[in-house]
Structure 1
Protein backbone atom coordinates (compact mmCIF):
# COMPACT_ATOMS: atom_id res chain seq x y z
CA UNK A 1 0.00 0.00 0.00
CA UNK A 2 1.38 3.39 -0.98
CA UNK A 3 0.71 6.22 1.43
CA UNK A 4 0.80 9.94 0.67
CA UNK A 5 3.92 11.76 1.84
CA UNK A 6 3.87 14.26 4.68
CA UNK A 7 4.89 17.78 3.66
CA UNK A 8 8.19 18.85 5.24
CA UNK A 9 8.87 22.60 5.34
CA UNK A 10 12.31 23.64 6.52
CA UNK A 11 12.04 26.74 8.71
CA UNK A 12 15.66 27.09 9.91
CA UNK A 13 18.88 25.33 8.96
CA UNK A 14 22.02 26.81 10.45
CA UNK A 15 25.18 25.44 12.09
CA UNK A 16 23.39 24.85 15.43
CA UNK A 17 19.85 23.64 14.62
CA UNK A 18 17.54 22.46 11.87
CA UNK A 19 13.84 23.23 12.37
CA UNK A 20 11.28 21.50 10.16
CA UNK A 21 7.48 21.66 10.18
CA UNK A 22 5.74 18.43 9.17
CA UNK A 23 2.14 18.52 7.90
CA UNK A 24 0.33 15.20 7.45
CA UNK A 25 -2.99 14.47 5.76
CA UNK A 26 -4.77 11.50 7.34
CA UNK A 27 -2.76 8.38 6.44
CA UNK A 28 0.32 10.31 5.26
CA UNK A 29 3.82 9.22 6.27
CA UNK A 30 7.32 10.62 6.59
CA UNK A 31 8.93 7.61 4.94
CA UNK A 32 11.66 5.55 6.59
CA UNK A 33 14.46 7.66 8.04
CA UNK A 34 17.21 7.59 10.66
CA UNK A 35 17.76 10.65 12.84
CA UNK A 36 21.33 11.90 12.57
CA UNK A 37 20.96 14.29 15.52
CA UNK A 38 19.24 14.46 18.89
CA UNK A 39 15.84 16.03 18.28
CA UNK A 40 12.76 17.56 19.91
CA UNK A 41 9.22 17.27 18.54
CA UNK A 42 6.53 19.80 19.50
CA UNK A 43 2.96 18.98 18.48
CA UNK A 44 1.08 21.87 16.85
CA UNK A 45 -2.12 19.79 16.62
CA UNK A 46 -3.10 16.62 18.41
CA UNK A 47 -1.01 13.96 16.66
CA UNK A 48 -2.33 10.39 16.48
CA UNK A 49 0.87 8.66 15.36
CA UNK A 50 1.67 5.19 14.17
CA UNK A 51 5.42 4.65 14.57
CA UNK A 52 6.75 1.79 12.46
CA UNK A 53 10.03 0.26 13.69
CA UNK A 54 12.79 -1.57 11.76
CA UNK A 55 12.03 -4.88 13.51
CA UNK A 56 8.55 -4.92 11.95
CA UNK A 57 6.70 -3.82 15.08
CA UNK A 58 4.71 -0.62 15.40
CA UNK A 59 3.59 1.65 18.23
CA UNK A 60 0.51 3.85 18.38
CA UNK A 61 0.68 7.04 20.41
CA UNK A 62 -1.06 10.39 20.68
CA UNK A 63 0.98 13.51 21.26
CA UNK A 64 -1.29 16.28 22.50
CA UNK A 65 -1.11 19.72 20.90
CA UNK A 66 1.37 21.95 22.71
CA UNK A 67 3.37 19.10 24.24
CA UNK A 68 6.88 18.00 23.32
CA UNK A 69 9.24 15.04 23.58
CA UNK A 70 12.89 14.45 22.77
CA UNK A 71 14.88 11.52 21.43
CA UNK A 72 18.56 10.77 20.90
CA UNK A 73 20.20 10.49 17.49
CA UNK A 74 20.03 7.12 15.79
CA UNK A 75 16.27 6.57 16.00
CA UNK A 76 15.05 4.83 12.84
CA UNK A 77 11.34 4.76 12.03
CA UNK A 78 8.48 5.73 9.75
CA UNK A 79 5.89 8.12 11.19
CA UNK A 80 2.29 7.79 9.94
CA UNK A 81 -0.74 9.96 10.71
CA UNK A 82 -2.99 7.30 12.24
CA UNK A 83 -5.92 9.67 12.82
CA UNK A 84 -8.85 11.01 10.83
CA UNK A 85 -7.70 14.66 10.94
CA UNK A 86 -4.66 16.46 9.59
CA UNK A 87 -1.74 16.64 12.02
CA UNK A 88 1.24 18.95 12.35
CA UNK A 89 4.38 18.94 14.44
CA UNK A 90 7.64 20.88 14.48
CA UNK A 91 10.94 19.01 14.75
CA UNK A 92 14.08 20.71 16.07
CA UNK A 93 17.30 18.82 15.38
CA UNK A 94 20.22 19.75 17.65
CA UNK A 95 23.33 19.77 15.48
CA UNK A 96 25.80 20.70 18.22
CA UNK A 97 26.71 18.00 20.75
CA UNK A 98 25.62 18.40 24.36
CA UNK A 99 28.06 20.42 26.50
Structure 2
Protein backbone atom coordinates (compact mmCIF):
# COMPACT_ATOMS: atom_id res chain seq x y z
CA UNK A 1 0.00 0.00 0.00
CA UNK A 2 1.47 3.35 -1.02
CA UNK A 3 -1.28 5.57 0.38
CA UNK A 4 -4.59 4.97 2.11
CA UNK A 5 -6.59 7.92 3.42
CA UNK A 6 -10.15 9.19 3.36
CA UNK A 7 -9.95 10.16 -0.33
CA UNK A 8 -7.83 7.53 -2.11
CA UNK A 9 -6.14 4.17 -1.75
CA UNK A 10 -3.03 3.73 -3.90
CA UNK A 11 -1.60 0.24 -4.21
CA UNK A 12 1.23 -1.21 -6.28
CA UNK A 13 0.54 -4.76 -7.41
CA UNK A 14 3.28 -7.16 -8.57
CA UNK A 15 2.27 -10.50 -10.09
CA UNK A 16 4.59 -13.30 -11.19
CA UNK A 17 3.34 -15.27 -14.21
CA UNK A 18 0.08 -17.09 -13.36
CA UNK A 19 -0.63 -15.11 -10.17
CA UNK A 20 -4.27 -14.09 -9.54
CA UNK A 21 -6.08 -11.49 -7.44
CA UNK A 22 -8.97 -13.79 -6.62
CA UNK A 23 -12.58 -12.91 -7.39
CA UNK A 24 -13.45 -9.49 -5.92
CA UNK A 25 -15.76 -6.48 -6.27
CA UNK A 26 -14.45 -2.93 -6.45
CA UNK A 27 -16.28 -0.73 -3.96
CA UNK A 28 -14.92 2.49 -5.49
CA UNK A 29 -14.14 3.73 -8.99
CA UNK A 30 -10.50 3.09 -9.82
CA UNK A 31 -7.66 3.83 -12.22
CA UNK A 32 -4.96 1.36 -13.25
CA UNK A 33 -1.55 2.49 -14.57
CA UNK A 34 0.62 -0.27 -16.00
CA UNK A 35 4.28 -0.35 -14.95
CA UNK A 36 5.18 -3.22 -17.27
CA UNK A 37 4.02 -4.64 -20.57
CA UNK A 38 1.65 -7.46 -19.72
CA UNK A 39 -1.19 -9.72 -20.70
CA UNK A 40 -3.92 -9.17 -18.13
CA UNK A 41 -6.32 -12.12 -18.08
CA UNK A 42 -9.70 -10.99 -16.75
CA UNK A 43 -12.43 -13.40 -15.60
CA UNK A 44 -15.71 -11.53 -15.10
CA UNK A 45 -17.62 -14.63 -14.02
CA UNK A 46 -19.08 -15.36 -17.45
CA UNK A 47 -16.07 -15.03 -19.77
CA UNK A 48 -12.28 -14.84 -19.69
CA UNK A 49 -10.50 -12.24 -21.80
CA UNK A 50 -6.79 -11.66 -22.41
CA UNK A 51 -5.99 -7.94 -22.58
CA UNK A 52 -2.52 -6.97 -23.85
CA UNK A 53 -1.33 -3.78 -22.10
CA UNK A 54 1.80 -1.65 -22.44
CA UNK A 55 3.87 0.01 -19.71
CA UNK A 56 2.48 3.50 -19.12
CA UNK A 57 -0.98 2.59 -20.40
CA UNK A 58 -3.85 3.52 -18.08
CA UNK A 59 -7.57 2.77 -17.83
CA UNK A 60 -10.41 3.37 -15.38
CA UNK A 61 -13.49 1.46 -14.27
CA UNK A 62 -16.54 2.38 -12.18
CA UNK A 63 -17.37 1.09 -8.72
CA UNK A 64 -19.08 -2.29 -8.68
CA UNK A 65 -16.81 -4.08 -11.15
CA UNK A 66 -16.50 -7.76 -10.20
CA UNK A 67 -13.70 -9.91 -11.57
CA UNK A 68 -10.60 -12.01 -11.05
CA UNK A 69 -7.40 -10.72 -12.66
CA UNK A 70 -4.45 -12.94 -13.57
CA UNK A 71 -1.03 -12.38 -15.08
CA UNK A 72 -1.64 -14.23 -18.34
CA UNK A 73 1.89 -13.68 -19.64
CA UNK A 74 5.24 -15.32 -19.04
CA UNK A 75 6.91 -12.22 -17.48
CA UNK A 76 6.21 -10.42 -14.18
CA UNK A 77 3.33 -7.93 -14.34
CA UNK A 78 3.17 -4.74 -12.25
CA UNK A 79 0.65 -1.90 -12.04
CA UNK A 80 -0.51 0.86 -9.72
CA UNK A 81 -4.18 0.93 -8.72
CA UNK A 82 -5.73 4.20 -7.53
CA UNK A 83 -9.12 3.71 -5.88
CA UNK A 84 -11.15 6.92 -5.57
CA UNK A 85 -12.97 6.73 -2.23
CA UNK A 86 -14.64 10.14 -2.52
CA UNK A 87 -15.13 10.91 -6.22
CA UNK A 88 -17.38 13.85 -5.36
CA UNK A 89 -14.48 15.49 -3.51
CA UNK A 90 -12.20 15.55 -6.56
CA UNK A 91 -12.22 18.84 -8.40
CA UNK A 92 -10.18 19.46 -11.50
CA UNK A 93 -9.22 22.93 -12.71
Q: Considering the TM-score relative to the shorter chain, is it more than 0.5?
A: yes
Runs of 4+ in 1 over 6 A off after TM superposition: none
Which protein has greater RCO, CA pairs closer than 8 Å, 6+ apart? 2
TM-score by length of 1: 0.86
Aligned-pair Cα RMSD in Å: 1.0
Aligned residue for 1:85? 75
For structure 1, the 5+ residue unaligned runs are: 1-9
Q: Partners in 2 of 1:44 and 1:83 — Cα distance?
A: 14
Q: Partners in 2 of 1:86 and 1:24 — Cα distance?
A: 6
TM-score by length of 2: 0.92
Aligned residue for 2:56? 66
What aligned pairs does 1:1-99 form with structure 2 within 5 A after superposition? 10-55=1-46, 57-98=47-88
Q: How many residue pairs are counted as aligned between the two chains? A: 89
